[in-house]
Amino acid sequence: MRVRCQWIFAFAIFTCGCAAFPRADGNGERPKALFAWAVGKESDEDGNEKGSENAKNGKASEDSQVQRQPAQSGREEPLASDRPDFTEASSTVGKGRIQLEGGYTYTRDRSAGVTTTGHSYPETLLRVGMFADWFEFRVGQNFGNARTGSPAGAFRANGGEDLYLGVKLGLTERKGLLPETALILQTTVPTGHEDFTASRVNPGINFLFSSTVIEDRLALGGSIQMNRATDTLRHGYIEFAQSLTVGYGLTKKLGAYTEWFAFYPSGAVAPGIGPQHSFNGGFTYRLTPNIQFDIRAGVGLNRQADDFFAGTGFAVRY
């Protein structure tokens, strides 16, 4: 009950700080978010109006001048991907745009004499901008390959995971020190292999936020999630998740990040399920404004989390 009250209180503060749906400005530009901050400065220190920038993978630091002056430069604003870190981007792809993301992850964990290795691929996520710049439809599909070995024998599992569906709503653009925010309404549906499916619909919500600390160099972001999950005994429970990420702009094309994320199960009855804390970091390289490659690696910070994981991937915007 305490956690629920904190969420309601935080949402009430956020709602009070936002004005109604923003209309197009004098230049006829479409609104990129559902709300506009009712407080905070309208411009930065140089007198330029602040736009929304992403605080992960160094995205906020690479092309801020392009974002502020798209008409003068004629250059396209670079993509903002939901990978490779756990924290999704706080921006949407924009109306009429399609973005495809994918990759591969290797995991390894050893506990009580049992070693588990896993391969996750292709981690496909299709993001489609529809209706308005602040609305994004999302569909994801993935396959898993896991092997568990112990002195008693080995077990293998291989097959598709449950289909992921969702919509991302851009809530606010960044305004001074106030963050860019977004909300994802998401669910999985039981379409996966018997070794990976939850056998039921598991809905959830994901609140995202990001802000630039040092223009072109340093940005912060994070997420707060609440999802329905299913344990190994097919018992449903609520899983809370939280993350904080720091993005670094190394060059105009190369970005980096470090991140902490955690899961907090509530109501699970299967043995061995508990809070998981992990730390990871990685790099992104933007070949063009519409093509990005990434690499990452991380470690678990407690017994319940995977000991080690690493992966690579890409994002392409059309």
Tens digit of pLDDT at every position of the chain (318 positions): 444 444 444 444 444 455 455 555 545 567 889 999 888 766 444 445 444 444 445 444 333 333 333 334 456 788 999 999 999 999 999 999 999 999 999 999 998 888 999 999 999 999 999 999 999 999 999 999 999 987 777 889 999 999 999 999 999 999 988 999 999 999 999 999 998 999 999 999 999 999 999 988 999 999 999 999 988 788 889 999 999 999 999 999 999 999 999 999 998 888 878 999 999 999 999 999 999 999 999 999 999 999 999 999 999 999
Rounded Cα–Cα distance for residues 241 and 258 (Å):
17
Rounded Cα–Cα distance for residues 216 and 265 (Å):
37
Closest CA to 175 of 283, 26, 18: 18
Tokens of 251: 């060059």
Tokens of 266: 């509530």
- Phi/psi of residue 142, nearest 5 degrees: -145, 160
Looking at the chain, list the stretches that DSSP marks H as alpha helix, in order from N- to C-terminal side. Answer: 2-16, 64-68, 70-73
- Which residue has 């940005």 as its token pair? 219
Q: Are 140 and 120 in contact (CB under 8 A)?
A: no
Tokens of 131: 């209706």
What range does the domain containing 260 cover?
2-317
Tokens of 287: 């070949």
State the CATH number of the domain containing residue 68: 2.40.160.40
| Number of domains into which the chain is organized | 1
Q: pTM, whole model, 2 decimals? A: 0.83
Rounded Cα–Cα distance for residues 127 and 317 (Å):
9
Residues 6+ apart with CB under 8 A from 96: 129
